[in-house]
Amino acid sequence: MAKVLVVTSGKGGVGKTTSTAALGAALAQGGENVVVVDFDVGLRNLDLIMGAERRVVYDLINVVQGDAKLNQALIRDKRIENLSLLPASQTRDKDALTPEGVERVIGELREKFDWVICDSPAGIEKGALLAMRHADMAVVVTNPEVSSVRDSDRIIGMLDSKTVKAENGERMEKHLLLTRYDPGRAARNEMLKTEDVLEILSIPLLGIIPESEEVLRASNLGAPVTLNSPTSAPARAYFDAARRLKGEKVEIVVPMQRGGLMSKLFGRRVA
């Protein structure tokens, strides 16, 4: 059975697109058949992060409006054959996305893939609501910072009320992905700790992605970090998160760059 997953946050710039690409690639690297779908109409970026920006011909809106077939719009990754991208439109406005059209496309994607990962736009408007609408589960991307936590709380409320699952009285499965985490600063009480964010948002933890230069390096090169530097700390954290998404029990640690004293101090169990 296909799983539809929305990667959302409310706040912009916390790492939704990076995480969509990294989780999608990590699942595909583990043998799953994955599509990542960009819902950020007008401000698409998943194509760029995936390194497919020059291969976009048709997009989600073309498929929603029936101007292109799904197969014409899907872009297969050049590095992993079981990873595809459905890009957003860069020129149209978000009103071109209709609820009926999105429902139909998600239904078609469910038949083709094991995982349909929807990269939500920031905000709580129509685009974000459509991205979450048909999801079976949600990854809430949060930075350990007050405005991000507040917006995540708001988004969690919407996941529990504005999705098809919620309207049918079912429980939406929600997971917290804490990104840009700096264990050193958290230990010095300069940054919210994992426990603080978990206590405030009270949803289960999917993973902790440490702040790392490898993330920017990967996006500079147009490759998900799990592909570009699979042994780096953020990549290992994404691999672990992907295994947890599949239901595996994996102990949560904050991976650190290997070998240093810091990794001995902070590479310990946290939750």
Partner 1 sequence: MNLLALFRKKPSAPIARERLQVLLAHERGAHGQSELLAKLQEEILAVIAKHIKVSRDQVQVKLDRNEDIATLEIDIEMPDLSPLAAARH
Contacts to partner 1 by CB under 8 A? 145-146, 149-150, 153-154, 157, 161, 186, 188-193, 196, 200
Interhelix angle 213-221/16-29, nearest 10 degrees: 80
Q: Which residues pair with 138 in a beta bridge?
A: 6, 174
How do beta strands 3-8 and 115-119 pair? Answer: parallel
Q: How far is the CB of 131 from partner 1 (least distance, A)?
A: 20
* Inter-helix orientation angle 233-245/16-29, to 10°: 70
- 26 touches 170 (CB < 8 A): no
Closest CB 241 distance from partner 1, rounded Å:
24
Burial letters 9-33, b for 16+ CB under 10 A, else e: bbbeebbbbbbbbbbbbbbbbbebe
The residues, ordered by sequence, that sit 6+ positions from 164 with a Cβ below 8 Å of its Cβ are: 133, 134
Q: What angle do CA 82, 85, 88 make, to 5 degrees?
A: 170
Shortest separation between residue 124's beta carbon and partner 1, angstroms:
11
Return the number of the residue (108 or 153) whose C-beta is nearest partner 1: 153
